[in-house]
């Protein structure tokens, strides 16, 4: 197995009197795209700046490309870390053309060689070398910024919310292009974002950062299906949380028994809204929930339900004919996740 | 020692940067060391004796009142002028913009001669105030118009949409935003008024600086003058710290995104008032000196003009001013970068020290360099390098302020991007920060160039033999009351200084367009 | 692919142009200063070594004369012009390392200060041979090179010399109410008031100033203004230096000039001040330095002063070919040591109190 591209071990960092990172552990395998996902103020930016070398580490250590770069009395200067950085606004040098921007981190000989053209091609901007940054669209600027970061073949590329300044429509497209370019370059990248969809949709691994520590690091699917706690569950997607009592392989809930892979005793059950199926009641005998509100999204719609005073959220196909005030029967498809009482997130 | 202290307090700036800044700081300490040594050579009792004389108090009071009044006049005139030129539909505002910057090219003593020959009665406080304000208000005008040009229509539009009328928007939102620029300009006005000698002497208004000259003249003894110089340093320190305090509390623009420049405000029925203001300001600051210069030049032309000598002095002026600007900006760069990027106590102290040279009379700085220069670097005495170093001491603050602003405007993210691409701190400075701050650096160089071109006392003391500047030629002729003979040199000096002034104006007011 | 760091903004181009210009300047800067300096430092250059003159007298007044010295003596001069007082301060700060060989001052006070500081070496007697008694420093360290006198300028169409004030007290006669012109703030006026203080003591001077002010004297911006005031009949008499009348004379022609000078002997009103020269203790070659001072008191130089600037010669028997002026020996200096006129600060304070600054 290859050595990890980035290892953070119990990293503490912050400002005098205000700790921001309090024991971050993270292991980024080479060649992967790992997303660091967190809400505002969770320490994402500090984490990124600590790895890049712009923020000092108080405790713990950082290894990049198998080399100790921070911690234990070591503080390698940013320019010696071989850690590339792509920031929110791209931060292109406005006084240099695209080729000079991309070649900025290369030595004189490499700048004259093919490398610049190579990485520009990688990001799909071959032939743009003599343009000025101001002549490019936002998405193109971000791709140039990526090409610039990739050019010196860094051990690691850090992407700081690189798509946040782009239009929604453009965002997905640029995200795909960046993803492809990273794959083609075989680069290891860490993407910092507050956008769950972006993290889940782009990354190989997602690390959820909360209160200055990584609470879970897993592939997107695992994260979504088997979150470490309710908090993570809520953070990575909409959640339906019900009081439950688990016995062997099933949990008793308001919606009846739901299969669970493990757990015993009182606790809470996590379901995803798309697991709730709604149907018209067969008669008066069945327990029904009242539709409180319907929000139409296009391909699907979210439905707020009231089941004897308990609020539920269901996701249904956009064409479903559900209206506020309707009474519906709620059924559960698939397994739920059970969290024993006291295991709060 | 200083370097260690700087490094500790400045959060790990590049050693080369700290060395450069320390060098600048050391150079700026020259006059202070000299004044302290000279003042206290006869003991503190003597110092107290000089300072407590009633006349000293009177001169101090005169200076404070004059400085306060001139600063206030310049703040108002400079800000109004900037607003009219940048933000309204005043007819001919491009031309007015250039004309408002131009008085910077007129040496205060030339303006003073111009006024006094046309209006002999204009002496005392009023005349001094008028002439000093008229040559100093461009400091405020340029600073404010640079900020206004950078544009932030969003805030003003938001205010309008919240129901504020245009006048209230101007007074609340716009004025708030340009306030730091107004203060930065006002600081330069205050310090240059404090240190001006020519105009108070012509207008017979007894200021502290004039008092220092009188001391030299009457007692031929440098010590009492040095004591007064120390008092002037204290005054300058108060002004500088006060400005920093007030500026520190004011709000800068928050949020990012390129500020949008608002469309011009229509003046409507206020247009005649605007035109009147513009005409009065231009008439006072340029018209009168220009008229007098023209009259003298015509008179002088009939007496014959020494063309080759005129050219030779212009070239000498160009040389010393060019080199002075280069060295001063080179020293201002590390100080400005540190001040913009590493706010710490040491850095702030360093920045404050640089302002002192500007507040001291040229003769005091000149003597300080004579005193230390001849002892430490005897081989450079009355050689070009020492003269140029003297200019740096005198004019560093002009450059530091502009460079600091320019560097602050260059996004830190770009520097970080450069570092993450493997470029060290110095390489980043050279390849990213400096090019981004280039307009500001050019502007700083232009301002220093203009100031060096018209400098006199330090030039007289430190110039290499054979060097004669235009300012010297003017001085030697007006000293003998040969105004007509001096006029061609004055015209040439104004013309020479006008070029960088126009560059300055263009660079500063264009900054918004980037 | 060719990578260029293309400068884009005009600012960037400006900066580059500026830097290039400055570099070019630096390149051509070194030569003249360096060349001039080299021989000056070492005595090796022999004949070529220049005398460094610190001149408080203005270039336009004395450069032709100094050029004449260079031509006649073969000694090149390196003249640094400046304000007399600032040059004194500079020389004092330079101390023993001063490059100055000769100090040429506008005022006696400056030379007195240098002498007092031990910075002037005694001159050989032949240097000031022929200079009128009283115009060489008592300790022989400097000599006057020319003189100027305070006079009462008067309207010769209205007044005869006999009617004019003969001393400070005559000036307070009601006859002159509103008829006197003076240039407040002017340095020669300030020196005159200092002489009044030396003559009468501070209290006496204060009283005199108050009485003078009660005469409602007319204030003028400068000495030229006073002369103009007499010419246009605004005032009858004015307190000025003797040579201000000459430029008016050149302008109007002597026959059209109403103003005349009246010399007052033995009173501060007729104070004689001098310009002079001495040899510095730092002079590399005092003998050659003395040669220059001797030249300045020579008949050639004295003739130059009376002819070009209308100053008095410090030798007897030099007659101006241009101006009508008395011989220096006819002027009666008040009983005042010029070296005592160094309390300008107190004078200014007194003038301010009297509301006459």
List chain B residues with CB under 8 Å of C113: 219-221
Helix (H, G, I), strand (E, B), or coil: what is residue A156? strand
Of B55, B322, B464, nearest to C22 by CB-CB distance is B322
- Can you tell me the mean pLDDT for B490-502? 85
Domain boundaries for CATH 3.40.50.300 within chain A: 6-231
Mutate to test the interface with A, among C3, C6, C9 (most CBs of A within 10 A): C3
**A84 backbone φψ class: left, alpha, beta (φ>0; ψ -120 to 50):** beta
Residue C288 in tokens:
């050659």
Residue B254: pLDDT over 50: no
Window from A128-132, B299-303, B403-407, C105-109 with minimum mean pLDDT: B299-303
Q: What is the pLDDT of residues B120-141, one digit of tens each?
A: 777 789 999 999 999 999 999 9
Residue B263 CA, chain-centre distance (Å), reads 31
Instruction: Measure the CA angle with vertex C328, ends C323 and C334; round to 5°.
Output: 125
Residue C159 in tokens:
């007044």
CA distance A181 to chain C (A): 20
A146 compared with B54, residue with greater pLDDT? A146
Which pLDDT score, from 0 to 100, does residue C76 have?
Answer: 94
Nearest to A33, CA basis, from A174, A156, A216: A156
Q: At CB < 8 Å, which residues of chain B contact A?
A: 256, 411, 413-414, 416-425, 427-428, 431-432, 435-436, 438, 514
Residue A48 CA, chain-centre distance (Å), reads 14
Task: Find where tokens 């008439």 sit.
Answer: B283
Is the ipTM above a cut-off of 0.90? no
Residues B35 and B231: their CA atoms lie apart, in Å, by 10
Q: Per this entry, what is the length of chain C? A: 357
Neighbours of chain C (3+ CB pairs under 8 A): A, B
Residue B15 in tokens:
């050693």
- Can you tell me the mean pLDDT for C204-209? 93
What CATH fold (topology level) applies to the domain A239-340?
OB fold (Dihydrolipoamide Acetyltransferase, E2P) (2.40.50)
Mutate to test the interface with B, among A78, A115, A133 (most CBs of B within 10 A): A78
Window from B119-133, B170-184, C21-35, C297-311 with minimum mean pLDDT: C21-35
> How high is the mean pLDDT of chain B?
82
Which pLDDT score, from 0 to 100, does residue C39 have?
Answer: 39
Which pLDDT score, from 0 to 100, does residue B159 have?
Answer: 60
CA distance C191 to chain B (A): 9
Question: Are A329 and A281 a contacting pair, CB within 8 Å?
Answer: yes
Query: What DSSP assignment string belongs to B105-128?
Result: GS-HHHHHHHHHHH-TT--HHHHH
Q: At CB < 8 Å, which residues of chain A contact C?
A: 94-97, 99-100, 103, 111-112, 114, 116-117, 129-130, 132
The answer, for B467 touching chain C at a CB cutoff of 8 Å, is yes
Nearest to A236, CA basis, from A99, A54, A91, A39: A39
Residue B264: pLDDT band by 50, 70, 90 thresholds? confident
Residue C12: pLDDT over 50: no
Contact A116 C12 (CB under 8 A): no
Residue B18: pLDDT band by 50, 70, 90 thresholds? confident
Q: What burial class does residue A121 get, using C-beta atoms within 10 Å of its C-beta: 0-12 exposed, 13-18 middle, 19+ buried?
A: middle
The CA-based dihedral angle spanning residues B505, B506, B507, B510, taken in that order and rounded to the nearest 10 degrees: 120
Residue B356: pLDDT band by 50, 70, 90 thresholds? confident
Q: Which residues pair with A301 in a beta bridge?
A: A296, A316
Question: Are B97 and B505 a contacting pair, CB within 8 Å?
Answer: yes
Which pLDDT score, from 0 to 100, does residue B252 have?
Answer: 44
Question: Are B460 and C86 a contacting pair, CB within 8 Å?
Answer: yes
The answer, for A148 touching chain B at a CB cutoff of 8 Å, is yes
Window from B21-35, B60-74, B96-110, C39-53 with minimum mean pLDDT: C39-53
Residue B438: pLDDT over 90: no
Contact C3 A132 (CB under 8 A): no
List chain C residues with CB under 8 Å of A111: 3
Helix (H, G, I), strand (E, B), or coil: what is residue C280? strand
Mention every residue, 6+ apart, whose C-beta is less than 8 A from residue B127: B115, B116, B119, B203, B205
Mutate to test the interface with B, among C5, C17, C53, C90 (most CBs of B within 10 A): C90
Residue B245: pLDDT band by 50, 70, 90 thresholds? confident
Residues B92 and B264: their CA atoms lie apart, in Å, by 13
Which pLDDT score, from 0 to 100, does residue B6 have?
Answer: 45
Q: Which of residues 82-141 of B touch C (CB under 8 A)?
A: 116, 120-121, 123
Residues B29 and C214: their CA atoms lie apart, in Å, by 51
Residues C299 and C301: their CA atoms lie apart, in Å, by 5
Sign of the torsion formed by the C-alpha atoms of C101, C107, C113 and C118: positive
The answer, for B455 touching chain C at a CB cutoff of 8 Å, is no
Question: Are B197 and B213 a contacting pair, CB within 8 Å?
Answer: yes
Contact C29 B374 (CB under 8 A): no
Mutate to test the interface with C, among B49, B204, B220, B304 (most CBs of C within 10 A): B220
Q: What is the DSSP letter of A273?
A: G
Q: Which residues pair with A13 in a beta bridge?
A: A21
Mention every residue, 6+ apart, whose C-beta is less than 8 A from residue A69: A53, A62, A63, A75, A76, A81, A83
Residues A182 and C243: their CA atoms lie apart, in Å, by 91
Residues A276 and A45: their CA atoms lie apart, in Å, by 37
Residue C121: pLDDT over 60: yes
| Residue C314: CA count within 13 A, CB half-sphere | 29
Q: Which of residues 154-213 of C touch B (CB under 8 A)?
A: 184-185, 187
CB count in 10 Å sphere of residue B45: 7
- Can you tell me the mean pLDDT for B338-364? 79
| Residue A66: CA count within 13 A, CB half-sphere | 4
**A246 backbone φψ class: left, alpha, beta (φ>0; ψ -120 to 50):** beta
Closest chain A residue to C10 measured between Cα atoms? A95
- Can you tell me the mean pLDDT for B342-358? 77
Residue C25: pLDDT over 60: no
Contact C3 A111 (CB under 8 A): yes
Residue B299: pLDDT over 80: no
Q: What burial class does residue A116 get, using C-beta atoms within 10 Å of its C-beta: 0-12 exposed, 13-18 middle, 19+ buried?
A: buried
Question: Are A78 and A54 a contacting pair, CB within 8 Å?
Answer: yes
- Sheet-wide strand order for A337-340: A256-259, A250-253, A240-247, A265-271, A337-340
Which pLDDT score, from 0 to 100, does residue C289 have?
Answer: 94
Of B422, B427, B432, nearest to A93 by CB-CB distance is B432
CB count in 10 Å sphere of residue B394: 28
Q: What is the DSSP letter of C3?
A: -
Residue B289 in tokens:
């000196």
Residues B222 and B163: their CA atoms lie apart, in Å, by 62
Residues B448 and B160: their CA atoms lie apart, in Å, by 40
Question: Are B320 and C26 a contacting pair, CB within 8 Å?
Answer: no
CB count in 10 Å sphere of residue B48: 11
Q: Top-level CATH class of A6-231?
A: alpha beta
Mention every residue, 6+ apart, whose C-beta is less than 8 A from residue A217: A26, A27, A34, A205, A206, A207, A208
The answer, for C317 touching chain A at a CB cutoff of 8 Å, is no
Residues C281 and A12: their CA atoms lie apart, in Å, by 71
Residue B256: pLDDT over 70: no
Residue B76: pLDDT band by 50, 70, 90 thresholds? very high
Residues B321 and B333: their CA atoms lie apart, in Å, by 18
CB count in 10 Å sphere of residue C139: 12
Question: Are A265 and A278 a contacting pair, CB within 8 Å?
Answer: no
Question: Are C145 and C316 a contacting pair, CB within 8 Å?
Answer: no
Residue C17 CA, chain-centre distance (Å), reads 45
Inter-residue long-range contacts of B409-414, CB under 8 Å, 24+ positions, other chains counted: B409/B436, B409/B437, B409/B440, B409/B511, B410/B436, B410/B437, B411/A89, B411/A91, B411/B436, B412/B341, B413/A87, B413/A89, B413/A91, B414/A91, B414/A93
Question: Are B258 and A134 a contacting pair, CB within 8 Å?
Answer: no
Q: What is the pLDDT of residues C43-99, one digit of tens each?
A: 444 455 899 999 999 888 899 999 999 999 999 999 999 888 889 989 999 999 999
Which pLDDT score, from 0 to 100, does residue B13 have?
Answer: 60
Q: What is the pLDDT of residues C255-294, one digit of tens each?
A: 888 999 998 888 889 888 899 999 999 999 999 999 999 9
Q: What is the pLDDT of residues B85-118, one digit of tens each?
A: 888 888 888 888 888 988 988 888 888 888 887 7
Q: What burial class does residue C253 get, using C-beta atoms within 10 Å of its C-beta: 0-12 exposed, 13-18 middle, 19+ buried?
A: exposed
Domain boundaries for CATH 2.40.50.140 within chain A: 239-340
- Can you tell me the mean pLDDT for B59-88? 92
- Can you tell me the mean pLDDT for B376-397? 89
- Can you tell me the mean pLDDT for C136-154? 92
Query: Across the 345 residues of chain A, what is the mean pLDDT of every consecutive 10-residue run?
Result: 84 89 93 91 88 90 92 86 84 86 86 87 88 87 90 90 80 85 89 90 92 93 91 89 88 88 88 90 81 88 89 87 88 90 62
Window from B51-65, B109-123, B183-197, B251-265 with minimum mean pLDDT: B251-265
Question: Are B84 and B93 a contacting pair, CB within 8 Å?
Answer: yes
| Alpha helices (H) in A151-294, listed in sequence order | 168-185, 196-202, 220-225, 230-236
């Amino acid at each position: 197995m290859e050595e990890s591209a980035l290892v953070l071990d119990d990293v503490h960092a912050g400002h005098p009197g205000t700790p921001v990172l309090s024991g971050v552990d993270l292991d980024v395998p080479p060649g992967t795209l790992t997303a660091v996902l967190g809400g505002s103020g969770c320490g994402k930016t500090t984490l990124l700046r600590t790895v890049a070398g712009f923020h000092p580490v108080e405790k713990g250590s950082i290894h990049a490309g198998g080399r100790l770069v921070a911690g234990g009395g070591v503080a390698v200067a940013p320019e010696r870390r071989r850690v590339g950085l792509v920031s929110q606004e791209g931060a292109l040098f406005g006084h240099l053309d695209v080729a000079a921007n991309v070649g900025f981190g290369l030595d004189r000989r490499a700048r004259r060689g093919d490398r610049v053209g190579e990485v520009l091609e990688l990001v799909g901007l071959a032939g743009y070398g003599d343009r000025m940054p101001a002549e490019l669209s936002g998405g193109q600027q971000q791709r140039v910024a990526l090409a610039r970061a990739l050019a010196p073949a860094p051990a690691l590329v850090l992407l700081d919310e690189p798509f946040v300044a782009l239009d929604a429509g453009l965002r997905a497209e640029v995200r795909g292009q960046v993803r492809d370019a990273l794959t083609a370059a075989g680069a290891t990248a860490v993407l910092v974002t507050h956008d769950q969809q972006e993290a889940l949709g782009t990354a190989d691994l997602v690390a959820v950062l909360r209160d200055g520590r990584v609470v879970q690091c897993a592939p997107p699917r695992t994260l979504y299906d088997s979150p470490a706690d309710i908090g993570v569950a809520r953070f990575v997607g909409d959640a339906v949380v019900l009081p439950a009592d688990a016995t062997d392989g099933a949990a008793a809930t308001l919606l009846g028994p739901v299969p669970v892979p493990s757990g015993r005793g009182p606790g809470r059950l996590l379901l995803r809204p798309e697991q709730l199926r709604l149907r018209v009641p067969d008669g008066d005998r069945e327990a029904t929930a009242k539709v409180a509100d319907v929000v139409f999204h296009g391909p699907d719609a979210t439905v707020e339900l009231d089941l004897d005073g308990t609020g539920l959220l269901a996701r249904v196909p956009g064409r479903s004919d559900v209206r506020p005030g309707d009474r519906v029967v709620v059924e559960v498809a698939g397994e739920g996740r059970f969290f024993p009482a006291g295991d709060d997130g | 020692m200083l370097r260690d202290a700087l490094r500790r307090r400045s959060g790990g700036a590049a050693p080369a940067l700290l060395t450069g800044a320390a060098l600048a700081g050391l150079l700026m300490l020259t006059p202070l060391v000299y004044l302290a040594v000279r003042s206290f050579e006869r003991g503190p009792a003597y110092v107290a004796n000089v300072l407590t004389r009633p006349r000293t108090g009177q001169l101090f009071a005169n200076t404070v009142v004059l400085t306060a009044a001139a600063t206030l006049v310049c703040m108002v005139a400079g800000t109004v002028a900037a607003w009219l030129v940048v933000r309204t539909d005043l007819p001919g505002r491009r031309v007015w913009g250039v004309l408002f910057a131009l008085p910077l090219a007129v040496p205060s003593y030339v303006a003073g001669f111009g006024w006094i020959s046309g209006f002999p009665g204009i002496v005392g406080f009023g005349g001094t105030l008028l002439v000093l304000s008229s040559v100093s208000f461009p400091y405020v005008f340029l600073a404010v118009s640079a900020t206004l040009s950078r544009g932030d229509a969003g805030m003003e539009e938001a205010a309008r949409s919240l129901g504020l009328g245009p006048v209230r928007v101007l007074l609340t939102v716009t004025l708030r935003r340009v306030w730091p620029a107004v203060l930065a300009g006002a600081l330069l006005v205050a310090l240059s008024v404090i240190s001006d000698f020519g105009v108070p002497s012509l207008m017979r208004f007894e200021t502290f600086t004039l008092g220092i000259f009188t001391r030299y003249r009457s007692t031929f003894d440098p010590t009492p003058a040095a004591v007064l110089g120390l008092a002037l340093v204290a005054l300058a320190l108060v002004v500088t710290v006060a400005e920093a305090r007030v500026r520190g509390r004011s709000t800068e623009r928050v949020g990012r995104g390129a500020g949008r420049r608002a469309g011009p405000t229509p003046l409507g029925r206020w247009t005649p008032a605007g035109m009147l203001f513009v005409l009065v300001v231009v008439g006072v600051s340029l018209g009168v000196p220009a008229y007098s210069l023209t009259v003298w030049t015509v008179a002088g032309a009939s007496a014959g003009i020494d063309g080759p000598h005129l050219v030779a002095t212009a070239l000498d002026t160009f040389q010393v001013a060019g080199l002075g600007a280069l060295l001063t900006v080179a020293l201002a760069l590390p100080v400005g970068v540190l001040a913009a990027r590493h706010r710490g106590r040491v850095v702030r102290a360093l920045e404050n020290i640089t302002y002192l040279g500007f507040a001291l009379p040229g003769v005091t700085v000149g003597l300080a360099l004579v005193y230390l220069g001849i002892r430490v670097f005897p081989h450079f005495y009355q050689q070009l390098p020492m003269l140029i170093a003297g200019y740096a001491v005198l004019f560093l603050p002009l450059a530091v302020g502009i460079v600091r602003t320019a560097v602050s405007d260059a996004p830190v993210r770009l520097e970080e991007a450069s570092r993450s691409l493997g470029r060290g701190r110095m390489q980043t400075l050279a390849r990213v920060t400096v090019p981004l701050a280039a307009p500001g650096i050019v502007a700083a160089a232009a301002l220093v160039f203009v100031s060096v071109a018209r400098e006199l006392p330090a030039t007289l003391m430190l110039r290499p033999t054979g060097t004669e500047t235009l300012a010297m030629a003017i001085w030697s002729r007006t000293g003998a009351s040969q105004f007509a003979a001096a006029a061609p040199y004055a015209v040439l000096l104004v013309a020479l200084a006008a070029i960088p002034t126009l560059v300055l104006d263009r660079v500063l007011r264009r900054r918004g367009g980037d | 692919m060719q990578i260029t760091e293309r400068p884009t903004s005009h600012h960037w181009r400006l900066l580059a142009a500026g830097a290039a210009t400055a570099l070019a300047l630096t390149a051509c800067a070194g030569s003249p200063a360096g060349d001039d300096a080299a021989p000056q430092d070492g005595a090796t250059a022999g004949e070529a070594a220049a005398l460094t003159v610190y001149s408080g007298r203005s270039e336009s007044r004395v450069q032709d004369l100094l050029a004449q010295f260079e031509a006649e003596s073969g000694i090149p001069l390196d003249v640094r012009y400046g304000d007399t007082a600032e040059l004194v301060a500079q020389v004092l700060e330079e101390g023993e390392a001063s490059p100055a060989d000769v100090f040429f001052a506008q005022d006696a006070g400056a030379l007195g200060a240098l002498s007092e500081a031990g910075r002037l070496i005694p001159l050989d007697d032949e240097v000031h041979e022929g200079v009128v008694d009283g115009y060489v420093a008592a300790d022989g360290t400097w000599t006057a090179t020319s003189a100027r006198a305070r006079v009462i300028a008067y309207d010769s169409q209205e007044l005869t010399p006999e009617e004019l004030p003969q001393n400070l007290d005559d000036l307070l006669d009601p006859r002159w109410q509103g008829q006197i012109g003076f240039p407040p703030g002017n340095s020669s006026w300030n020196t005159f008031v200092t002489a009044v203080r030396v003559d009468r003591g501070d209290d006496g001077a204060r009283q005199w100033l108050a009485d003078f002010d009660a005469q409602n004297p007319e204030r003028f911006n400068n000495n030229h203004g006073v002369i103009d005031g007499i010419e246009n009949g605004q005032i009858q008499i004015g307190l000025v230096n003797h040579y201000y009348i000459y430029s008016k004379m050149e302008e109007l022609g002597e026959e059209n000039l109403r103003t005349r000078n009246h010399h007052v002997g033995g009173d501060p009103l007729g104070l004689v001040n001098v310009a002079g020269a001495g040899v510095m203790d730092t002079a590399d070659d005092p003998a050659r330095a003395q040669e220059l001072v001797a030249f300045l008191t020579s008949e050639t130089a004295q003739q130059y002063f009376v002819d070009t600037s209308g100053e008095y010669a410090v030798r007897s028997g030099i007659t101006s070919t241009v101006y009508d002026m008395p011989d220096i020996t006819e002027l009666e200096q008040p009983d005042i040591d010029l070296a005592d006129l160094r309390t300008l600060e107190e004078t200014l304070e007194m003038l301010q109190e009297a509301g006459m600054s």
